[in-house]
Amino acid sequence: MSEHVVDVGDRHIKEVNEEIQEAAAAGKPIRVINTFSRHNLGIGLPDGARLSFEGSVGYYCGGLNTGAIIDIERNSGWAVGEGMSKGHITIGERAGMSCGAAMIGGTIHVKGDTGPRCGVAMKGGNIVVEGKIGYQSGFMAHAGKIIALGGAGASCADALWQGEVWVAGEVESLGVDVNVVEPTAEEVAEVDAILDPLGLVDSSRNWRKMVSGQRLWYFEARDASAWLMI
């Protein structure tokens, strides 16, 4: 089936997204051109849709994805893939702040670095970053895995719940209430199973697995020292 080309330019973003949805419903692969880093492109795409963006995109691209395969040629702005429940998003270069915020499932693959708070409040799924994750990545992640192959910025994995942050490379500093644990062979195999389809498995990596220290899970809310002592 021939691809459907969507030209963004200066068109109203609602009109652009309606055209994308119609092409997806018809089962056509979609190529989006002249994106000009516009915001809110490709929101709420259905399962089975295939979409590629030429150039860079703005905020919230691929948000609320329910199963589409999305390729972004260059950079993405804030909150790419926010709230996605299924599917796969690839960013060819850098992702901005809050990549994968509040995502529930699926995979986001960033070939460069990410900005601050990568995976903030995520509740499932996986974020794989070939470069470095920014300041306070993993903040309050409830579930899922953030896997960074090129190190991490300051305050990494701050205030985790049951999410995990895996880092190969240098970590500038740890956030509040973080434990760094030695992963088991079985846990490393689980991470390798995520990396394998992306061609990123490397048995020589020295992983730091970060999980919650659980000291913030149980405390008297009126006792400020519970926060101040951590």
The pLDDT value given to residue 226: 55
Choose among 87, 193, 104, 89: nearest CA to 141. Answer: 104
> What average pLDDT is seen over the chain?
95
175 assigned to some structural domain: yes
Distant-in-sequence, close-in-space partners of 59: CB < 8 Å, separation ≥ 6: 39, 40, 77, 78, 79, 96
Q: Taking residues 35-52, what's their average pLDDT?
A: 98
Torsion of CA 16, 18, 19, 22, to 10 degrees: 160
Is 203 within the bounds of a domain?
A: yes
The reply to whether 165 falls in a domain is yes
Within-domain flag for 17: no
Quick check: is 24 in a domain? no
What pLDDT was estimated at residue 6? Answer: 98
Residue 220: pLDDT band (50, 70, 90) is: low
How many distinct structural domains can be found in the chain?
1
pLDDT 10s digits, 129-169: 999 999 999 999 999 999 999 999 999 999 999 999 999 99
Please check the confidence at residue 227 and state whether its pLDDT lies above 60. Answer: no
Is pLDDT at 96 greater than 80 in this prediction?
yes
Residue 200 lies inside a defined structural domain of this protein: yes
Each residue's pLDDT tens digit, 73-87? 999 999 999 999 999
7 domain residue, yes or no? no
- Let me know if residue 136 belongs to a domain: yes
pLDDT tens sequence across 169-186: 999 999 999 999 999 999
Instruction: Tell me the residue range of the domain where 167 lies.
Output: 94-228
